[in-house]
């Protein structure tokens, strides 16, 4: 959820890989991230509208789909980042792995910690968020992003996916090494099928919040990464990406409505998305304003993802004096402003700190190479 690269991002100078497909034009990834956060927002907005269970789709399926798009996006972007740094290109070293994890920790934890503390110490005491206050044990679990391991409730709804992302970070360097050594065929014909089997076993035993339930949704990002750097040209126009996602969304929600396997049907959807990304051209320069819009949304999307459900709750349930027609614009405005402030005061400064710490780790830790 947290990962995005834009030409205005503080990480751009070190995180963009030096290959053609990872140039400063990442407009398709910005578009993908925009769609993902839009789906999650729509899911929580439908909760306010009390979407009936006999509707044509479950609102939860819309939100889950948005998160799955984030998972593909995150893997692809982090593969590009590792390719740019190059320290894992020839194999695993503890220095490179530690550097990677330090960057991720400084990227994902600061804003989530602030959000959890504000929710626990401000929103719950003032009854501004609908859930009951968690215990201290649950609070600590939310701060550490280990809810799925401790079976603790997330203090805010969107926080449930972040532990999965953090735990997947542990495996991404190995996916990158596998992509370098054996390529996309190995990932698609061996790694992804194995992850699907593990995912089905996880689903069978009702362990749907564990990382194995979502690994098949992360891995297509690694497949897309290797395919993109091998592909000389992409033939399909950019509009095929949102059109393809729309078709995948219809198929996914129809399948979930009929069979209820909300996680399992995400496996083929994510693989199809990963493959689609490798055939679609970037948004052309004539749509410069559109590219700027998507880039801006992508830049502040992590804060938007964390904060939107809070402001939906505040505006729609605690502001009865506000005209109904004004509630959605006010929610978007408050979420946007808070996301901007959170990025400028918390995300960007801590990203820079993480980059410096990671560079220090890289230079001081003697690499213990594992062949």
Question: What is the four-CA torsion angle of 197, 201, 202, 206, rounded to 10 degrees?
Answer: 150
pLDDT attached to residue 58? 75
- Reported as a pLDDT band with limits 50, 70 and 90, residue 211 is very high
Q: pLDDT by residue (tens digit) across 65-119?
A: 999 999 999 999 999 988 887 767 667 788 889 999 999 999 999 999 999 999 9
d(CA 207, CA 211): 9
DSSP code at position 323: -
Q: Which range (80-94, 148-162, 233-247, 316-330) has the least confidence? A: 80-94
- Reported as a pLDDT band with limits 50, 70 and 90, residue 15 is very low
d(CA 108, CA 369): 27
* Residue carrying the six token digits 């693989």: 271
Between 354 and 94, the more confident residue is: 354
pLDDT attached to residue 119? 93
- Reported as a pLDDT band with limits 50, 70 and 90, residue 126 is confident
Distance of CA 204 to the CA centre of its chain: 25
Average pLDDT of the segment spanning 220-240? 91
The mean pLDDT of the chain is: 87
Distance of CA 203 to the CA centre of its chain: 21
Q: Which residues contact 203 (CB under 8 A, 6 or more apart)?
A: 213, 261, 263, 264
pLDDT attached to residue 2? 67
Q: Which range (217-221, 226-230, 330-334, 335-339) has the least confidence? A: 226-230
Between 292 and 362, the more confident residue is: 292
- pTM here is 0.89
Q: pLDDT by residue (tens digit) across 239-266?
A: 999 999 999 999 999 888 877 778 899 9
DSSP code at position 9: S
d(CA 141, CA 148): 9
pLDDT attached to residue 209? 81
pLDDT attached to residue 204? 85
- Reported as a pLDDT band with limits 50, 70 and 90, residue 21 is very low
Q: What angle do CA 316, 116, 305 make, to 5 degrees?
A: 55
d(CA 63, CA 301): 15
* Residue carrying the six token digits 């614009």: 329
**Alpha-helical segments (H) within 151-235:** 162-169, 172-186, 192-204, 215-230
d(CA 47, CA 313): 10
pLDDT attached to residue 365? 53
Q: How long is the chain?
A: 371
DSSP code at position 322: S
pLDDT attached to residue 85? 77
DSSP 234-245: --B-TTHHHHHH
Average pLDDT of the segment spanning 3-7? 49
Cβ–Cβ < 8 Å for 315, 307? no
Average pLDDT of the segment spanning 123-147? 87
Side-chain half-sphere exposure of 127, counting CA atoms within 13 A:
3
- Reported as a pLDDT band with limits 50, 70 and 90, residue 7 is very low
- Reported as a pLDDT band with limits 50, 70 and 90, residue 61 is confident
């Amino acid at each position: 959820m947290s990962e995005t690269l834009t030409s205005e991002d503080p990480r751009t100078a070190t995180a963009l890989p030096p290959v053609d497909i990872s140039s400063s034009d990442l407009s398709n990834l910005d578009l993908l991230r925009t769609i993902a956060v839009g789906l999650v927002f729509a899911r929580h907005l439908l909760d306010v509208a009390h979407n009936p269970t006999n509707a044509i789709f479950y609102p939860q399926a819309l939100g889950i789909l948005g998160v799955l798009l984030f998972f593909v996006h995150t893997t692809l972007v982090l593969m590009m980042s590792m390719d740019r740094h190059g320290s894992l290109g020839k194999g695993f070293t503890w220095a490179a792995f530690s550097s990677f994890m330090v960057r991720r920790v400084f990227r994902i934890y600061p804003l989530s910690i602030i959000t959890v503390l504000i929710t626990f110490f401000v929103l719950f005491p003032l009854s501004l968020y609908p859930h009951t206050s968690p215990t201290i044990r649950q609070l600590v679990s939310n701060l550490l992003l280990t809810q799925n391991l401790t079976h603790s409730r997330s203090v805010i709804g969107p926080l449930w996916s972040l532990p999965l992302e953090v735990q997947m970070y542990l495996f991404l360097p190995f996916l990158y090494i596998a992509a370098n050594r054996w390529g996309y065929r190995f990932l698609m014909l061996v790694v992804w099928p194995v992850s699907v089997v593990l995912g089905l076993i996880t689903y069978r035993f009702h362990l749907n919040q564990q990382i194995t339930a979502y690994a098949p949704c992360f891995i297509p990002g690694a497949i897309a990464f290797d395919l993109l750097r091998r592909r000389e040209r992409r033939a399909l126009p950019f509009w095929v990406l949102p059109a393809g996602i729309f078709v995948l969304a219809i198929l996914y929600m129809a399948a979930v409505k009929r069979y209820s396997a909300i996680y399992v049907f995400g496996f083929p959807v994510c693989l199809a998305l990963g493959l689609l990304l490798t055939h679609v051209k970037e948004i052309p320069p004539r749509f410069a304003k559109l590219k700027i819009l998507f880039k801006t949304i992508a830049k502040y999307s992590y804060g938007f993802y964390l904060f939107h459900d809070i402001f939906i709750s505040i505006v729609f349930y605690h502001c009865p004096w506000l005209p109904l027609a004004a509630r959605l614009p006010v929610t978007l405005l408050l979420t946007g402003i808070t996301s901007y402030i959170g990025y400028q005061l918390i995300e960007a400064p801590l990203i820079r700190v993480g980059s410096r710490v990671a560079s220090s780790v890289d230079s001081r830790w003697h690499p213990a190479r594992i062949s």
